[in-house]
Structure formats: structure tokens, C-alpha cells
A and B are shown apart, each in its own frame.
Chain A
Amino acid sequence: QKEVEQNSGPLSVPEGAIASLNCTYSDRVSQSFFWYRQYSGKSPELIMSIYSNGDKEDGRFTAQLNKASQYVSLLIRDSQPSDSATYLCAVNSYTGGFKTIFGAGTRLFVKA
């Protein structure tokens, strides 16, 4: 079982719709969870972090965390064509030092 799993997509949504991206992780002691966005040919950049169960909102983005189910999600409201990218779920895991483990990413296409 992979440590961090995501549907690879592609996920296609119309402009203005809500895009829902999901992620599960295997390490129960993980405490820190992140969503990165990666445009084609570019490096990943952080868009959301979440550390406690529940929802965290930042503009059009909402991250949701359920540690009991080992599940993290990202909702993008009012999706725009500029949101088209690969979204990477990441989890910090401790093995002598903290390492960041990434999922394979979900490709999102927002159609104008």
C-alpha cells in the first residue's frame, strides 16, 4: 500500500463548478497535511496546510481532514481555468527527522 494515495484523474470540471480532490494516507501518526499545486513544467507550490480535524478555508480553497478515516480532501469553489494543474497531497512523517511524502497527484482540468 502506498503511503499517500490519490486518484490520478484527470478530473474535469466546468468553469464555476466545485472541484473535489481526495487523498488517503497510511501512517496513523501523521500530524501535518498539505496540498501543493503544480503547473506543467513548474515546481510544486503550497496552497493549503491542515493539522486538525475539520475544515480549513482560505479564499476559494477548503481543506478537510478526518484523521480517524485517514482522509484529506481539497475543495476548490468557483473553479477557474487557471486552476488547471496537478494537485499533490503531502503528509509529514517522522523517522528520525520529518520527511514529506507525496501522493502521485490528481490532474485537474477546468473547462471554460
Chain B
Amino acid sequence: DVKVTQSSRYLVKRTGEKVFLECVQDMDHENMFWYRQDPGLGLRLIYFSYDVKMKEKGDIPEGYSVSREKKERFSLILESASTNQTSMYLCASSPFRQSGAVEAFFGQGTRLTVV
């Protein structure tokens, strides 16, 4: 079974703190994604990566950065946490296929609260 593991299930951070969310997958997938999920807005793509050291902005990259130094690990960084970044964060991975016909496998999610 594919396993995508996020480092924390719940986090509480203070405004202005630098926050690291870690995600590890064990299936040698090329693609990795960070989404945030808010009520009524669904999953919105923050950043994705299709290779080591590669990153692409998603729909809402502002206030976030990412790092992918190893294939299995994709980190999301909140440079200076703000209250509007309180959300559920979901990491996902998928294998590369030329056709793009692949499903995404999700981690268990990190509920981040910024106070």
C-alpha cells in the first residue's frame, strides 16, 4: 500500500512564526503536492513538484514556499505564519505517467491553527 505520512496531525503556532510541514511518501512517486482545504473552498493547490529540486506554483502560493531535496520528502514552509493560514493542509503524491492518468494518494492531513 502507498503510504504518505505527514509529520503532525495537529499544530498550533503563533503569528509570525516560521512553520515547517513535512511530508514523506514511500512509493518512489515523482509527483508531490501540497493543498490546503477550507470549508466551501475545497482543496486548493499551493505548490507541487514533479522531480527532486523542482517546484511549481499552484493556485495560492503566496505566503508559502516548498523544498524537495529528496524524492521521498516534500516540505511546506510558512515563512511568517498568519491567522489566515489557519487551515487543513494535505500532502499528496502520484507516480509519473506520460498520459497523466494517475491518482493522487493523500496523507492524513495537518490541521494548523495560527493564533
Cβ–Cβ contact A99 & B35, under 8 A: no
With A97-B54, A98-B50 already in contact, the answer to whether A32 and B99 are too (CB < 8 A) is: yes
Residues of chain B lying within 8 A (CB to CB) of residue A85: none
Within 8 A of B (CB), among A41-98: 43-46, 49, 51, 88, 90, 92, 94-98
Size bin of chain A's contact surface: 20 to 34
Within 8 A of A (CB), among B57-115: 58-59, 90, 92, 94, 96-97, 99-104, 106-109
A102 within 8 A of B: yes
With A88-B42, A88-B43, A95-B56 already in contact, the answer to whether A44 and B106 are too (CB < 8 A) is: yes
Binding site for A on B (CB under 8 A): 31, 33, 35, 40-45, 48-51, 54, 56, 58-59, 90, 92, 94, 96-97, 99-104, 106-109
| Known pairs A96-B50, A101-B59 / 11 extra A-B pairs, C-beta < 8 Å | A45-B106, A95-B56, A97-B48, A97-B51, A98-B50, A98-B97, A98-B100, A99-B45, A99-B56, A99-B58, A105-B42
Cβ–Cβ contact B40 & A98, under 8 A: no
Output the nearest chain A residue to B97 by Cβ-Cβ distance: A98
| CB of B36, distance to nearest CB on chain A (Å) | 11
A34 within 8 A of B: yes
27 contacts between A and B (CB under 8 A): A6-B42, A8-B40, A31-B99, A31-B100, A31-B101, A32-B99, A32-B100, A43-B107, A44-B90, A45-B106, A46-B104, A49-B103, A88-B42, A92-B101, A95-B56, A97-B48, A97-B49, A98-B50, A98-B94, A98-B97, A98-B102, A100-B45, A100-B92, A100-B104, A101-B45, A101-B59, A102-B44
Contact residues of B: prevailing secondary structure: loop
With A43-B90, A43-B108, A104-B42 already in contact, the answer to whether A34 and B31 are too (CB < 8 A) is: no
Residues of chain A lying within 8 A (CB to CB) of residue B103: 34, 46, 49
Residues of chain A lying within 8 A (CB to CB) of residue B40: 8, 104
Bound together, the chains give a CA A88 to CA B92 distance in angstroms of 15
